[in-house]
Amino acid sequence: MIKLGIIREGKIPSDNRVALTPAQCKWIQHNRSDIQIIVQTSATRCFSDKEYEHAGAVVQENMEACDILFGIKEVPVEMLIPGKTYLFFSHTKKLQPYNQHLFQAIIQKNITLIDYECLEHEDGTRIIGFGFFAGVVGAHNGIMAYGNRTGLFQLQRVHATKNFQDLIHTYFGLKLPHIKIAVTGSGRVAHGILEIMNLLGVHDVEPEDYVSRNFSYPVYVHLKGGQLYKNKTGSPYNRDDFHKNPSHYTCLFEKYIPYTDILMNGVYWTAEIPRLFEREDIRRPDFHIQTIADITDDKYGSVPCNLGDSTIDDPVYGVDKISFEKTQPYLPGSLDIMAVGNLPNELPKDASRYFGEQLIKHILLPLIEGGSEIIDKATLVKNGKLNEPYLYMREYATSEIK
């Protein structure tokens, strides 16, 4: 009997999403008599302990008997069980300093860590994630923030609705002003943003028209790949080359700045990838952007005026265009930033259902039957030792924590 565990989220603020919903747990146990699912008690999950019990899962505090443990966010060090296999978003592969202690504890406790973020198809496309619903909620919040700043319209909060379908109903009758919105990125986050653009009746236009024409209705331009980055040598944009050699490229977003009211940022970013703009650009007289939904949410990252996470309760803050200091939102002389790190928590049941479907379709079977190349490539640590694709993390795994 293979015992799969759904652990309680321990990171503060607590995440209410789950890797598998009660209905999915019921389906798994119905179709695989050799699998038992154990769910750790929790008062903060979007699905209750009772719902898991009714689905046939065992609900208890102790998770020692589980073979594989599923979480969402980083597991606090004191909650790690030695010798187990864990799946969660560890936020360590970029050598994030704030999770170095966690990564070293995983090694010391002989744990196997499979990171959801690293589960990829052969072409590098992410297999599993919450990006679509991050894009949905982030785009809604960005539009909401612009309405709050200008007073031209109002949107209610996403978490005030029951689910995604209910959210869609709140858009009926809403007429947006003739604004211009720049959408960046090409992955699940961007797809979620575009879903909201379509639901709100925002029209897609070509980059050339975006910068040269005025419109009597709201429009967006979708910038990805060769529309957003240019090879310094003059060679055509190449996706594989860009990801291998991002420092060989410059960003083309600067030319859209004077025409953009709202920026919806969904690009993947590392320190080697050029930013969309530099902090000093905010002071330019033609810096027209008033609201930025930084859904990618890297502090000082692709959006350099991201001064750190906001929260679901208080999702928007201002940045003074002269001093670059954080202010209250919607003030004259400031730029509004929406930078929530756990956006899908506003639609937790929809997001969890989608996540669990991908987990079941692509990962669960090879995971319980001995692994696969995809799983191996996503395994950062195997039985307390760095896995080969991640040997670049050696110093991170052993150096003194500052």
pLDDT band at 95, cuts 50/70/90? very high
Per-residue pLDDT, 371: 83
Same structural domain, 111 and 169 = no
pLDDT band at 374, cuts 50/70/90? very high
Same structural domain, 366 and 325 = no
Same structural domain, 200 and 299 = yes
Same structural domain, 164 and 48 = no
Per-residue pLDDT, 281: 96
Residue keyed to tokens 């992410």: 126
Where is the domain boundary, 304, 325, 346? 346
Same structural domain, 88 and 120 = yes
Same structural domain, 173 and 109 = no
pLDDT band at 35, cuts 50/70/90? very high
Q: Give me the percent of the chain exceeding a pLDDT of 90.
A: 93
**246-266 confidence digits (pLDDT tens):** 999 999 999 999 999 999 999
Q: Is the pLDDT of residue 402 over 90?
A: no
Q: Is the pLDDT of residue 69 over 80?
A: yes
3-state secondary structure of 292: strand
Average pLDDT of the chain?
95
**Both tokens assigned to 311:** 């929260």
Per-residue pLDDT, 13: 79
Same structural domain, 251 and 335 = yes
Phi-psi region of 384 (alpha: psi -120 to 50; beta: other; left: phi over 0): left
Per-residue pLDDT, 167: 96
**212-231 confidence digits (pLDDT tens):** 999 999 999 999 999 999 99
Where is the domain boundary, 346, 363, 383? 346
pLDDT band at 89, cuts 50/70/90? very high
Per-residue pLDDT, 123: 82
Q: Is the pLDDT of residue 297 over 80?
A: yes
**pLDDT, mean of residues 83-96:** 96
Same structural domain, 298 and 327 = yes
Predicted model pTM = 0.90
Same structural domain, 23 and 90 = yes
CA distance 54 to 70: 20
CA distance 210 to 291: 18
Same structural domain, 150 and 110 = no
Per-residue pLDDT, 47: 97
CA distance 210 to 206: 6
Beta strand pairing status for 334-338 and 203-204?
unpaired
**121-165 confidence digits (pLDDT tens):** 988 888 999 999 999 999 999 999 999 999 999 999 999 999 999
Task: Identify the domain containing residue 48 by its residue range.
Answer: 2-127+348-398
CB atoms within 10 A of CB 36: 19
Same structural domain, 188 and 333 = yes
**pLDDT, mean of residues 266-270:** 91
pLDDT band at 232, cuts 50/70/90? very high
Any idea how long the chain is?
402
Domain count, the chain: 2
Phi-psi region of 270 (alpha: psi -120 to 50; beta: other; left: phi over 0): beta
**171-209 confidence digits (pLDDT tens):** 999 999 999 999 999 989 999 999 999 999 999 999 999
CA distance 57 to 20: 11
| CATH, residue 242 | 3.40.50.720
Same structural domain, 113 and 10 = yes
